[in-house]
Amino acid sequence: MAAATQSSFAATSAWQDLAATLTAAANADVLLQNTTPQPVKVCFGGASAPASDASGVTLARLETIVGNAANIWVRSPGGSTLAVSIGHSGGVAGAIAAGATDAGNPVKIGGVYNLTQPTLADGQRGNAQVSARGELLVALSSAGSALSVLSASADGNATSGNGLCAVARNLVFNGSTWDRAKKPASTARLLSAAATTNAASVKTSATDLFRLRGHNAAAAARYLKLYNKNVAPTVGTDTPVATYYLPPAAPFEIAFDTPLYFSAGLAYALTGAAADSDTTALAAGDVLCLNIHYA
């Protein structure tokens, strides 16, 4: 028992109310131990002395008993001494209140519900916090900083600090932030190339490119150029992100195990030569059924 006080009591042949002499024992958790060879009878409760020894429990030497009552009756026909340890009716309790400067060893393992969470100062002891339903509240942190929750339902999760993904969905790093993993949900099509560079915008915002398919119907190689732009490129002036060789008179397919990321948007052009500055237009129908699969 925590915060117990120690005492002793001399039992005689007559029934005596121990709590009348040691008043702190009334309605408290009390441990009694017989310290002498003579047996002792103990009876917890009852406003008056027991009518017979049958009402009590016999303690032999060094035996103990614990009880809690307003009256504690004891008797020893041969005379005996009891060691008395008096605790508190509230049960086990720590020596330091919540929010006070810590001292000694912690005992409490329960929790407390607070509508507003407490703020403690350095070196103070605090209660475990629980919800209104008694659920233990836990805050995850790293090096003293709370973990942020990364949303798997939105893109652009920040990279600073540490994050915890709240649901089991994949996030992919785009070089700057974390985005949701996507499927190629959209397709841009050019069924037949015009007699131009065919400059066009595919998407005007951040884009994941998954696959390119088509057929080069020309007798010479043609070149597919991709741009990180939210408008159609200025061919020969803008610098492509990637340039792909399209073999003559053959189908082509360009796939990415991990989607190619365009932060501003996706645009493309088709030219007759590979140089970034080239503006050679295609002949009509040089490239057929160009399909751009993206998200």
CATH of residue 78: 2.60.120.770
Tens digit of pLDDT at every position of the chain (295 positions)? 445 688 999 999 999 999 999 999 999 889 999 999 999 999 999 999 999 888 889 999 999 999 999 999 999 999 999 999 887 444 455 566 666 676 766 555 668 888 998 888 998 878 889 898 888 888 777 666 666 665 556 666 555 555 555 555 677 788 888 887 888 999 999 999 999 999 999 999 999 999 999 999 999 999 999 999 999 999 999 999 999 999 999 999 999 988 999 999 999 999 999 999 999 999 999 999 999 999 9
290 in the same domain as 195? yes
pLDDT for the residue numbered 99: 64
223 in the same domain as 170? no
Please say whether the beta carbons of 285 and 234 come within 8 A. Answer: no
26 in the same domain as 76? yes
Separation between Cα atoms, residue 123 and residue 7, nearest integer Å: 35
- Name 42's bridge partners: 57, 74
Separation between Cα atoms, residue 64 and residue 34, nearest integer Å: 7
Q: How many structural domains does the chain have?
A: 3
pLDDT for the residue numbered 150: 59
- Name 10's bridge partners: 81
Out of 52, 86, 120, pick the residue that ends a domain.
86
pLDDT for the residue numbered 90: 44
Asked if residue 26 is part of any domain, the answer here is yes
What SS3 class is residue 144? coil
44 in the same domain as 20? yes
Longest dimension (CA), the chain: 124
pTM above 0.75, yes or no: no
pLDDT for the residue numbered 108: 55
pLDDT for the residue numbered 1: 41
65 in the same domain as 47? yes
Asked if residue 131 is part of any domain, the answer here is no
286 in the same domain as 199? yes
Q: Which domain holds residue 45?
A: 5-86
157 in the same domain as 257? no
